[in-house]
Structure 1
Amino acid sequence: MLYFSRWKTVFIWFVIAVSLLIAAPNLFSNEQLAKLPSWFPTKKVTLGLDLQGGSHIMLKIERADIVKERLETVVGDIRNVLREANIRYTGLNGTGQQIQVRITDVAQLQAAKDALQPLLTPVSAGTFGATVTEVSLQDDGSGLLRLELTDSGIDYRLSSALTQSIEVVRRRVDELGTTEPLIQRQGTDRIIVQVPGLQDPQRLKALLNQTAKLSFHMVDTSMPVQEALNGRPPANSEIMYSTDDPAVPYLVERRALVSGENLVDAQASFNQQNNEPVVTFRFDSRGAQRFAQATQQNVGRPFAIILDDQVISAPVIREPIIGGSGQISGNFTVQGANDLAVLLRAGALPATLTVVEERTVGPGLGADSIRAGVVASIIGALSVAGFMLAFYGFFGVLANVALAVNIVMILAVLSVIGSTLTLPGIAGIVLTMGMAVDSNVLIYERIREEVKSGRAVVPSIASGFQRAFATIIDANLTTLIAAVVLFYLGSGPVRGFAVTLAVGIVTTVFTAFTFTNWMFSLWIKRSKPKALPKGIRTGIFDGRGLPFMSIRRYTFAAAAALSVASLVSFATAGMNLGIDFRGGSIIELKAKQGDADIGDIRARLDGLNLGDVQAQGFGGAQDVLVRVQAQEGGDNAEQSALERIRNELGNDYEFRRVEVVGPAVSSELSYTATLGVGVALLFILIYIWFRFEWQFAVGAIVATMHDVILTIGLFVLTGIEFNLTSIAAILTIVGYSLNDTVVVYDRMRENLRRYKKMPLAELIDISINQTLSRTVLTGLTTSIALSALYLFGGEVIRSFTFAMLFGVAVGTFSSIYIAAPILIAFRLRPDAFNKGDESEKSKKNESLPNSKASV
């Protein structure tokens, strides 16, 4: 295992060199990269919005709008079809997804059904020849026809509208001139829009919220508008209001002369007569012809320019407009004219898009987050490196070199796959640094055991790598399962954390069994060692002989009591749920001048009648964190509340971070969070059951549930906000706890094959003592890395790292005092391992090792 052919050596160094080259651009600014040779890679790790500022907005297309519009269209089609067929009817109306019409002459019933047949014909869904029936028909024989919009037809229209909306949203965002926006579909009715570096998120929301349906209608002058308001307007007209303040009513004909579909261009400009901002537009040939015809026939009459059911202008036609172009005036600001031009050029949305989730980070906070993340990473890396050097000497140097290569490979992989690095993602890298050392510790301790048993150094090193391989794979796969579940069920920053954690696990296994192995091979080849190098100080854990199982009843009872107390407190007091799970808003403010006045902020916000509003200090004296409860009016009410807060505090405070989660999203996040923990535990149970025996799987799951329950108890006791990153923390605790448990279980399985007559409690004590150095050292290195994050990583991830620190301690405890006693309680039989390798039979009567426990 220590022999490396030349091609293997070349391959290892080729991978490292390529990783260095790919990761190198992250050390340079974009200006510096532009000056480098063309062959030098330029792709960098994409920074998340929390690191560079910007906006994350989730839009939901309203199914009700699709149903309403489709209902109106079908009703209109039925009316036209029956009129063209000269079929008399009455009572044509539609509600919900139901339409009914009565055929006056029953003799014409079949003719009516034949005329309506085209509406019932299935349409192509565009995938593998699939068809969808949009309208179904029921006939009771009395002349009453009932038509229904099918759910499958609405789903088809919803999907088509979502696809069209994505293109419209993309054109609108591109018009803003932003760099690398992310616009993607999520689920059946959502669109995610991420725009990094955006300075004005309010403008983005204004552009995305508007449907931008433009149309030109004649103003109905057959009766005064006030008379129509007091009485009943003509059947072919309706009352619409202008965008003025106060709004002006207009009586407008329902039939549109020309619609926005005929526009080919729209630009912001200035009126040459009064220098006011206006929007010039140009029609296509068909629109120009229809517009020219309409203006020729209605000279002297006013016509209304309507945008999203509001009259933005109602000029009088002075002369025919035959050039196919014109201008819209309406007391615009320069930016308002620009935004309207953007909307018209991008086209109309097929349905209203509602903002159901918003997360905005200002550029100032993003720069602070980068600084905090880099400082925490450097401190964590140096602390872990110093710790390894102190305990392992020369072997610690090799571990640190491998760790440095590991971090480079993580950055290279993240650059290649285009992953977005978020603040929790940095936490994932720092956590990986702490856990990556675990593989080296397992190998080193195996080598020490082999040397201690009397074997020569070189065979001991080869055996150490070989024996540690299965343990490392088992331990890291459990964490990888948790990371995969996090990725598929998580969103946003949680996904970023899962990606970096998963990539870190893969690169850790690679460096442990290729690069670290190669460095040992080189050391042996050059130094030809006769003994292990000096400086290894982990012998302090040898021969402890601690009787762990002798107090198992007391520790198990204490753990059970704490678990019950946690569950009871959770059921009665509950957790301090963040907006991710209960909806509402979180706003981080920074005073533009002087210190923040929290009392004044509370007083001003209380006057807005937004329900429960909390304001508290956050970080420095200038910083304030405001929490606003979920609004009763739904997703639109959340946005209205945020707008009112901006108007109230915008002059005095900088909005550094805004998170708004609507009730629909919060309920979904609660469901996926619970599902994520459950799915992770299920897959891990299956894996451990497959690799070990069923008693091991039960023990691992009970120990893990203990860790999860106590962590939940911690959130209840401390009142720390429980949000999406808390779910990431719990699932990572699950992975870490199982990592620790699997290492101990692996040693137990090995000893069960070796000492088949030994009492189980005694054998478990021996196994725990043999892995004690690894358990302590891995727990300490992970805690050191997490402590650096907790102290220097910033307020945003402080609760996350605090939970992780607690989880490391609880996970270490449970792997000894929960997972192990379960094996005794379920009467694990050593003879279950008789099918182990026959080569171990000669060791059946072997004397106990030096670390034998005294029980």
Structure 2
Amino acid sequence: MLHFSPIRTIVILIVALLGVLSAVPNFLSRDTIAVLPDWLPKQQMVMGLDLQGGSYLLLQVNREGIVTESLTKLRRDARTVLANQNGIGNIITTQERSITVELTDPSQLDAARQALETLQVNITGSIFAGVGTPEYEYSTTPDGRIVVGLTEAGVTERMSSIVSQSLEVIRNRVDELGTTEPIIQRQGADRVLVQVPGFEDSDRLKDIISRTARLTFHLVYPGMTAAQAEQQGLPPGTMIVPSAEGGAELLYEDVAIGGESLVDSQPGYDQQTTRPVVTFRFDTRGALTFGEITSRNVNRRFAIVLDNQVITAPVIQQPITGGTGQISGSFTTQSANDLAVLLRAGALPATLDIIEERSVGPSLGADSVRGGVIAGIIAGVTTIVFMLIAYGTFGIFANLALILNIVMMVGALTLLGATLTLPGIAGIVLTMGMAVDANVLIFERIREEVNNGRTSVQAIQAGFTNAMSAILDSNVTTFIAAVVLFYLGSGPVQGFAVTLALGIMSTLFTAYFITLLIVGRWFAWKRPKTLKVQLTRFIPDNTKLPFMKWSRAALLASMILSVVSIGLFAVQGLNLGIDFKGGSSIEVQSNDGPADPARVREVLGALDLGDVQVQGFGAPEDLLIQIEAQSDDDTEQQAAVEQVRDALTAENYEIRRIEAVSGTVSGELALSSAIGLSVAVLGILIYLWFRFEWQFAVGAVVSTVHDVVITLGFMSLTGIEFNQSSIAAILTIIGYSLNDTIVVYDRVREYMRKYRKIPMPALLDMAMNSTLSRTVLTGPTTLMALGALVIFGGEVIRSFVLSMIFGVLIGTYSSIFIAAPILIYLGLRSRPEQVDAPPAKERRADGAAV
């Protein structure tokens, strides 16, 4: 094992070199990267919104808007196909999801139905003609009326089709803003996710993205005002549309010409009034149509309608044959420019509602990067020093592997194009604490083999071989939690999951291949007669702590703590964040010294937004404001955020971070979180069942549930906000707890094969005492890394890290006092048939019996 073949060595070095080369650009300036040779990697990691600022929007197709628009089109088409094309007199009324056609001549029922059935549309994304979902369903009432309704499947398919069309429109609009590296992608059947890093004006971005920008031109109905039509009844084929200047206009329903005929749109200024306007130009066909319409309707009013609002309705003074025109209204220079952008990019096929918003100011992003880097440096230095103190020369080997591990993680994140988030930095820092665990397991096994009288070569080989089972099992269970977390979460939480998963893979690679390669080369060079693996002993050899004697008291204490935690959860509940209850969370910073919470409460209280909480958040200048969900109407939630923004800007506060989540999204997150946790526990249970006996699997799950319940009790007691990051913390705690538990279980399984006559309580004591040194060494490195994050990582991530610190402590406790003794109650016994020979007493190097 110590003598790697040249090919194996070359492969390991190539993989490590690729990881290093991929990571290097992240530590260089852009100017330096530009002059590097072309064959070298130049890609850098993508910073998340929480690190560089920017906006995140989740938009959903408005289902009611789709239904309304479809019914309007259906009514217009039905009138055309019946009266205009077939001369069938009719009266059409509109219901919630259908239209009813009453014929003036009932004898034409069959002809009318045949004509209406020609309107049927099969909506599909299939490439096969004739395959699709019918949009309409037809029926006839006993009194001879025809009912044409929208099918539920048709509406759903229409929404899915609209999402596909909207992606390109949104991408064109964002590109017009000049932003770099936006992420625009479909999410589910009816949603679009938009992330625009580095774009500070989130209000403008929302307006640009969410506005439908449907431009249509309609003739104004002559001889009757909108007010008269409301009193006397609408003339056939007309509609009332609100005006931008107040009031309303009575327009013909038929679209004279649509915005789809536009080929260009630019902001400009009216030559006579010097007010901002938007000029537009039609394509050839549109220019001809526009010229014909204006020629036939000189001295009539012609309305320009944008998103169901009349922008202007001037009188046609003369035919407009050049195919150009202008839109005037109450524009500012920026609003005229934005409208021109919208018209150039094209109209959205339907209204998109903002159901989730997260925006971060650049100053907060810079603070997060600074805090994360400081926490990472401190965690790295403390871990390196600790390993040097503990293992000396072997500590140097572990540190080299650790440094390469982190560099390879960065390289992998870069190669994959993954987005680095603040929780992602936490994942890297956490990996520093947990990555040494594999090396500690290996070194402790080498030391045990030396004490058992093996030669140096045998001890090294046996140490790596025997430790790999525990390393693999413990890391696979954590990997399962990371995978579930990736599919469960979104944004920063997914970033944490990706970092954690990559950290596990790089840890396995560096712990086995790199550390073994380094140790093998060192041994071939030095040829030491004796191995001194550990420099400083924190736990004496041959400890005989009676864990099983303490287990009953510990189990009783755990039962009491669990009952108290469940009681706290039932009575007090959790301090749910907006991720799970909906609402808005806004972080602000005073520009005039320490913030004044009382004044902010007074200002926001006057806005009548319901429950508004204002509290200190980190530095004296910072405040966190939480606003309850306004209603099921997403637009009201957005309006509330704008009111708070305007009010606090007037008070000289800087908006650093905004999160707004609708009730729809929060409910989905709560359900998906519960499902995700259940799937994670089930997946781990199945894996352990295959790898161990069923008692081990059940014991591990019981221990894990114990840790989760008590951690939830801790969150309820302390009032730590429970949000998506809390789910990430719980899944990480599950992984860490299982890591500890499996190390103990692996040793129990080994001793069961070796010592068939030892009673189970004594065997469990032996197993836990033999792994105690590893627990004492791994725990502090993880806690030191997490402690650095608490101090320097920033307020946004503090509750997340505090929960993990508590979980690490409770997980270490449960692996000893819950997971191990429960094996006895589950009836686990040694299996004599697995032992080929009676166990011989092992002896340490000094000759004493073990």
TM-score, structure 2 as length reference = 0.96
Cα gap change, 1:312/1:94 in structure 2, threshold over 3 Å: closer, same or farther? closer
Preserved contact between residue 394 and residue 533 of structure 2 (Cα < 8 Å)? no
Structure 1 equivalent of residue 782 of structure 2: 782
Aligned residue type for 2:204: R
Distance (whole Å) between structure 1 residues aligned to residue 816 and residue 128 of structure 2: 56
Mapping of residues 273-292 of structure 1, within 5 Å: 273-292=272-291
Q: Give secondary structure in 2 for the equivalent of 1:842.
A: coil
Structure 1 equivalent of residue 11 of structure 2: 11
Aligned residue type for 2:57: I
Preserved contact between residue 241 and residue 310 of structure 1 (Cα < 8 Å)? yes
Structure 1 equivalent of residue 394 of structure 2: 395
Q: Give secondary structure in 2 for the equivalent of 1:41.
A: coil
Structure 1 equivalent of residue 164 of structure 2: 163
Cα gap change, 1:476/1:784 in structure 2, threshold over 3 Å: closer, same or farther? same
Q: Give secondary structure in 2 for the equivalent of 1:256.
A: coil
Preserved contact between residue 632 and residue 663 of structure 2 (Cα < 8 Å)? no
Structure 2 equivalent of residue 338 of structure 1: 337
Preserved contact between residue 33 and residue 42 of structure 2 (Cα < 8 Å)? yes
Alignment pair present for 1:62 and 2:62: yes
Distance (whole Å) between structure 2 residues aligned to residue 145 and residue 588 of structure 1: 57
Preserved contact between residue 450 and residue 845 of structure 2 (Cα < 8 Å)? no
Structure 1 equivalent of residue 152 of structure 2: 151
Alignment pair present for 1:556 and 2:560: no
Alignment pair present for 1:74 and 2:74: yes
- CA-CA distance at 1:599 after TM superposition: 1.2
Distance (whole Å) between structure 2 residues aligned to residue 198 and residue 582 of structure 1: 28
Q: Give secondary structure in 1 for the equivalent of 2:356.
A: strand
Preserved contact between residue 105 and residue 143 of structure 1 (Cα < 8 Å)? no
Mapping of residues 702-713 of structure 1, within 5 Å: 702-713=702-713
Mapping of residues 308-327 of structure 1, within 5 Å: 308-327=307-326
Preserved contact between residue 89 and residue 101 of structure 1 (Cα < 8 Å)? no
Structure 2 equivalent of residue 210 of structure 1: 211
Mapping of residues 233-632 of structure 1, within 5 Å: 233-244=234-245, 247-533=246-532, 536-538=535-537, 540-632=539-631
Structure 2 equivalent of residue 184 of structure 1: 185
Moved more, 172-181 or 3-12: 3-12
Distance (whole Å) between structure 2 residues aligned to residue 654 and residue 299 of structure 1: 53
Q: Give secondary structure in 1 for the equivalent of 2:744.
A: helix
Structure 2 stretches lacking a partner, 5+ long: none
Q: Give secondary structure in 1 for the equivalent of 2:315.
A: coil
- CA-CA distance at 1:241 after TM superposition: 2.9
Distance (whole Å) between structure 2 residues aligned to residue 642 and residue 448 of structure 1: 61
The superposition leaves residues 361-389 of structure 1 with CA deviations (integer Å, 9 ceiling, x where unpaired) of 00011111000000000000001111111
Q: Give secondary structure in 2 for the equivalent of 1:834.
A: helix
Preserved contact between residue 87 and residue 108 of structure 1 (Cα < 8 Å)? no
Preserved contact between residue 123 and residue 158 of structure 2 (Cα < 8 Å)? no
Q: Give secondary structure in 2 for the equivalent of 1:681.
A: helix
- CA-CA distance at 1:680 after TM superposition: 0.2
Preserved contact between residue 754 and residue 841 of structure 1 (Cα < 8 Å)? no
Give the alignment's Cα RMSD to 1 decimal: 2.1
The superposition leaves residues 444-478 of structure 1 with CA deviations (integer Å, 9 ceiling, x where unpaired) of 00001100001111110011001111111101000
- CA-CA distance at 1:289 after TM superposition: 1.1
Q: Give secondary structure in 2 for the equivalent of 1:708.
A: helix
Preserved contact between residue 76 and residue 254 of structure 2 (Cα < 8 Å)? no
Distance (whole Å) between structure 1 residues aligned to residue 617 and residue 272 of structure 2: 53
Distance (whole Å) between structure 1 residues aligned to residue 336 and residue 122 of structure 2: 43
Distance (whole Å) between structure 2 residues aligned to residue 93 and residue 397 of structure 1: 83
Distance (whole Å) between structure 2 residues aligned to residue 437 and residue 44 of structure 1: 27
Cα gap change, 1:412/1:203 in structure 2, threshold over 3 Å: closer, same or farther? same
Distance (whole Å) between structure 2 residues aligned to residue 576 and residue 273 of structure 1: 60
Structure 1 equivalent of residue 796 of structure 2: 796
Aligned residue type for 2:147: R
Distance (whole Å) between structure 1 residues aligned to residue 715 and residue 51 of structure 2: 27
Structure 1 equivalent of residue 100 of structure 2: 100
Q: Give secondary structure in 1 for the equivalent of 2:256.
A: strand
Q: Give secondary structure in 2 for the equivalent of 1:841.
A: coil
The superposition leaves residues 710-729 of structure 1 with CA deviations (integer Å, 9 ceiling, x where unpaired) of 01001100001111101000
Structure 1 stretches lacking a partner, 5+ long: none
Moved more, 467-476 or 228-237: 228-237
Alignment pair present for 1:841 and 2:836: yes
TM-score, structure 1 as length reference = 0.96
Aligned residue type for 1:547: P
The superposition leaves residues 681-706 of structure 1 with CA deviations (integer Å, 9 ceiling, x where unpaired) of 00000000111111111100000000
Moved more, 214-223 or 167-176: 214-223
Q: Give secondary structure in 1 for the equivalent of 2:757.
A: coil
Moved more, 657-666 or 256-265: 256-265
- CA-CA distance at 1:99 after TM superposition: 3.6
Aligned residue type for 1:442: L
Distance (whole Å) between structure 2 residues aligned to residue 77 and residue 410 of structure 1: 59
The superposition leaves residues 90-119 of structure 1 with CA deviations (integer Å, 9 ceiling, x where unpaired) of 553342333433556665444344333334
- CA-CA distance at 1:595 after TM superposition: 2.6
Preserved contact between residue 789 and residue 798 of structure 2 (Cα < 8 Å)? yes
- CA-CA distance at 1:847 after TM superposition: 6.2
- CA-CA distance at 1:180 after TM superposition: 0.6
- CA-CA distance at 1:310 after TM superposition: 1.2
Distance (whole Å) between structure 1 residues aligned to residue 461 and residue 38 of structure 2: 44
Aligned residue type for 1:275: T
Preserved contact between residue 120 and residue 137 of structure 1 (Cα < 8 Å)? no
Moved more, 103-112 or 367-376: 103-112
- CA-CA distance at 1:37 after TM superposition: 2.9
Distance (whole Å) between structure 2 residues aligned to residue 562 and residue 124 of structure 1: 56
Structure 2 equivalent of residue 826 of structure 1: 826
- CA-CA distance at 1:230 after TM superposition: 5.2
Distance (whole Å) between structure 2 residues aligned to residue 7 and residue 543 of structure 1: 42
- CA-CA distance at 1:256 after TM superposition: 2.5
Mapping of residues 745-760 of structure 1, within 5 Å: 745-760=745-760
Q: Give secondary structure in 1 for the equivalent of 2:253.
A: strand
Moved more, 365-374 or 552-561: 552-561
Distance (whole Å) between structure 2 residues aligned to residue 135 and residue 254 of structure 1: 21
Distance (whole Å) between structure 1 residues aligned to residue 459 and residue 840 of structure 2: 22
Q: Give secondary structure in 2 for the equivalent of 1:424.
A: helix
Structure 2 equivalent of residue 763 of structure 1: 763
Distance (whole Å) between structure 2 residues aligned to residue 743 and residue 809 of structure 1: 16
Preserved contact between residue 87 and residue 103 of structure 1 (Cα < 8 Å)? no
- CA-CA distance at 1:314 after TM superposition: 2.2
Preserved contact between residue 451 and residue 845 of structure 2 (Cα < 8 Å)? no
The superposition leaves residues 222-252 of structure 1 with CA deviations (integer Å, 9 ceiling, x where unpaired) of 13455445544533433333323xx243333
Distance (whole Å) between structure 1 residues aligned to residue 237 and residue 175 of structure 2: 39
Structure 1 equivalent of residue 693 of structure 2: 693
The superposition leaves residues 492-538 of structure 1 with CA deviations (integer Å, 9 ceiling, x where unpaired) of 11100000000000000001111100001101101111111375223
The superposition leaves residues 246-286 of structure 1 with CA deviations (integer Å, 9 ceiling, x where unpaired) of x2433333333211111111011122333222111001112
Cα gap change, 1:99/1:302 in structure 2, threshold over 3 Å: closer, same or farther? closer
Cα gap change, 1:90/1:329 in structure 2, threshold over 3 Å: closer, same or farther? closer
Cα gap change, 1:105/1:227 in structure 2, threshold over 3 Å: closer, same or farther? closer
Cα gap change, 1:57/1:785 in structure 2, threshold over 3 Å: closer, same or farther? same
Q: Give secondary structure in 2 for the equivalent of 1:797.
A: helix
Distance (whole Å) between structure 1 residues aligned to residue 624 and residue 140 of structure 2: 62
- CA-CA distance at 1:221 after TM superposition: 3.4
Distance (whole Å) between structure 2 residues aligned to residue 309 and residue 739 of structure 1: 59
Aligned residue type for 2:371: A
Cα gap change, 1:75/1:305 in structure 2, threshold over 3 Å: closer, same or farther? closer
Moved more, 356-365 or 268-277: 268-277
Cα gap change, 1:341/1:120 in structure 2, threshold over 3 Å: closer, same or farther? closer
Preserved contact between residue 632 and residue 662 of structure 2 (Cα < 8 Å)? no
Preserved contact between residue 104 and residue 143 of structure 1 (Cα < 8 Å)? no
Alignment pair present for 1:772 and 2:767: no
- CA-CA distance at 1:81 after TM superposition: 2.9
Cα gap change, 1:73/1:219 in structure 2, threshold over 3 Å: closer, same or farther? closer
Preserved contact between residue 391 and residue 535 of structure 1 (Cα < 8 Å)? yes
